[in-house]
Amino acid sequence: MRLLRLEAYLELLKPAELRVMAQHLGFKQPDIHRERMSAFICSALREPASLRSALKELGEGELVILDYIVTRGLIFFELREVPHLLRHIKLKGDPVRPIERLGQLGVLFPLEARGRAPFLSVPRELHNEIARFLNDSGYYCPAPAEAPPEMVVSHGLDLLRDLYACLAFMRQEGEVRLTQKGMVMKRTYDRLAKGLARSQEDFPLESQPWGLPVFPDRFSLLTGYLLDRGLWQSQRDRWVPGERQTAWLALPYLAQLEDLFAYLYQKYVRRGTGAYQNVSLYLLNALKRFELDRWYPVTALSEQMLAYPSDGRAGLDPEILSAACQGLLRVLMYLGMVELGGTKGKPRATHFRLSSRYAHVSGLQRLESLGGERTTEGGLVVQPNFELVVFSEADLSVGLGLARFCELISADRVAHYRITRESAYRAMEEG
């Protein structure tokens, strides 16, 4: 297990914010102790074997915090500890999602085949553990070899969607039959199945022997974008490039990003609220007003967007927009478009500035060398690097590709890489 700036992140989560989050997830009186949570993480880092006993001592509210941290990629658990961890992270009203959780924990590997949808390859070592976890949860049980395989059904639309993908893979590895719980829910599943995808043709589960489709919400939104924009299309049992893909790839990277934001806001955010019809236009005009190599308060982005004259068709709520802009800045940071900074001793980001990556893709200047070390400028601290862990079961080409652009920190059962924004840009430029 590995820790990324956990102490700072725990300080970022105020008790009031944690309680609101916990109550939203169904906890009336959450048991939240930040110091106890931090001590648990640190002890688990020193002695991974103590993780199992330590988990039993955590209250429900603390498990909410743990889940919150894990799903945001701040902690990576060792492969052998993942199934045990999954048994404990079961939030009320939000059953554990095996596929999504395992992907976020780094034990499923995203693969991109040219002209096809993203798939996840399940490590052979993990297959039996997934099966055992689902069986213990009462969602499926191994069937005799002579029994015909059937799709397993569980309660809850979110869990159903993830198990739908997981079990499609398991059908190829070992026979599966419905439990009594699955039989009860089969009729419900039949009614909901059409809502999981546009059609069975768009998600040909049985036709892909080398992986399984991804159904969590963020992938569903992206898939909808690629389909609706004509960038992908399904042809028989596989994905093929859409008619508009060539023209779209020719667009500047910033234009591609802007088009994706516009689609998501129009289709999923504006629907039912009418508040974000022009957010994409506001965003681009706001970014144009900021100078390079200059730090701005994080509130400046929402202020600039509010300052842009509305055409009268939509209004922007200042509080909602401010929160949305802070989330947007984090997304732009992950893309290398902006840098976030905070005053010394305070973990919350207070300032941002446009990066040389943004300047390059927007045509303002050529990309300059960023270096890989933490830099301090005035009262601001900037951390430009991000890291990832790749398990040894991953395809060899994945490791070879990473080795071309990343710094290999360590290599054992897992390979630990550090990626700078400069190396990420170089990888994108060279394909």
The CATH number of the domain holding residue 295 is 1.10.10
- Which is higher by pLDDT, 41 or 5? 41
Whether residue 139 is found in the same domain as residue 161: yes
Query: Based on the domain organization, do 360 and 423 belong to the same domain?
Result: no
Whether 224 is in a domain gets the answer no
Is 170 found in the same domain as 267?
no
**368 and 392 within one domain:** no
In angstroms, the CA 94 to CA 80 distance is: 24
What gap in Å lies between CA 36 and CA 62, rounded to an integer?
9
- What is the predicted pLDDT for the residue at 17? 58
Distance between CA atoms of 428 and 431, rounded to whole angstroms?
5
Q: Are residues 375 and 398 in the same domain?
A: no
Is 405 domain-assigned?
yes
Q: What share of the chain in percent tops pLDDT 90?
A: 0
Note down the domain range covering 31: 2-94
Q: Which band of pLDDT confidence, cut at 50, 70 and 90, is reported for residue 185?
A: very low
Q: Are residues 327 and 258 in the same domain?
A: yes
Helix (H), strand (E), coil (C) string for 67-135: HHHHCCCCEECCHHHHHHHHHHCCECCECCCHHHHHHHCCCCEEECCCCCCCEEECCHHHHHHHHHHHH
Instruction: Please check whether residues 205 and 149 belong to one and the same domain.
Output: yes
pLDDT of residue 331: 53
- The mean pLDDT of 118-139, rounded to a whole number, is 42
> What's residue 191's pLDDT?
36
Which residue among 94, 128, 153 closes a domain?
A: 94
Strand ranges for 279-354 from DSSP E: 296-297, 338-343, 351-354
pLDDT of 235 above 50: yes
- Residue 380 has what pLDDT? 32
**What's residue 142's pLDDT?**
40
Coil, helix or strand at residue 175: coil
Domain contains 99: no
Give the pLDDT mean for 245-273: 54
- How many structural domains comprise the chain? 4
My answer on whether 272 and 341 are in the same domain is: yes
Domain boundary among 361, 383, 405: 383
Give the domain-ending residue among 349, 365, 383.
Answer: 383
What pTM does this model have? 0.29
Residue 221 lies in a domain: no
Amino acid at site 412: D
End-to-end CA distance of the chain: 31
Looking at the structure, tell me whether residues 370 and 263 fall in a common domain.
yes
- Residue at 111 is within a domain: no
The verdict on 153 and 273 lying in the same domain is: no
pLDDT digits (tens, 9 = 90+) for 186-226: 333 333 333 333 333 333 333 322 222 333 333 344 455 66
Structural domain contains residue 110: no
Q: What percent of the chain has pLDDT over 70?
A: 8
Residue 104 lies in a domain: no
The rounded distance, in Å, linking the Cα atoms of 162 and 159 is 5
Residues 289 and 189 in one domain: no
β-pairing, 338-343 vs 296-297, is: unpaired
- Looking at residue 300, its pLDDT comes to 86
Q: Is the pLDDT score of 350 beyond 70? A: yes
pLDDT of the residue at 419: 62
> What pLDDT shows up at residue 241?
62
Could you tell me if residue 61 is inside a domain?
Answer: yes
The predicted structure's pLDDT at residue 175: 36
Contact of 241 with 249, CB cutoff 8 Å: no
Q: Rounded CA gap, 197 and 201, in Å?
A: 9
> Are 178 and 300 contained in the same domain?
no
Q: What angle do CA 409, 367, 265 make, to 5 degrees?
A: 90
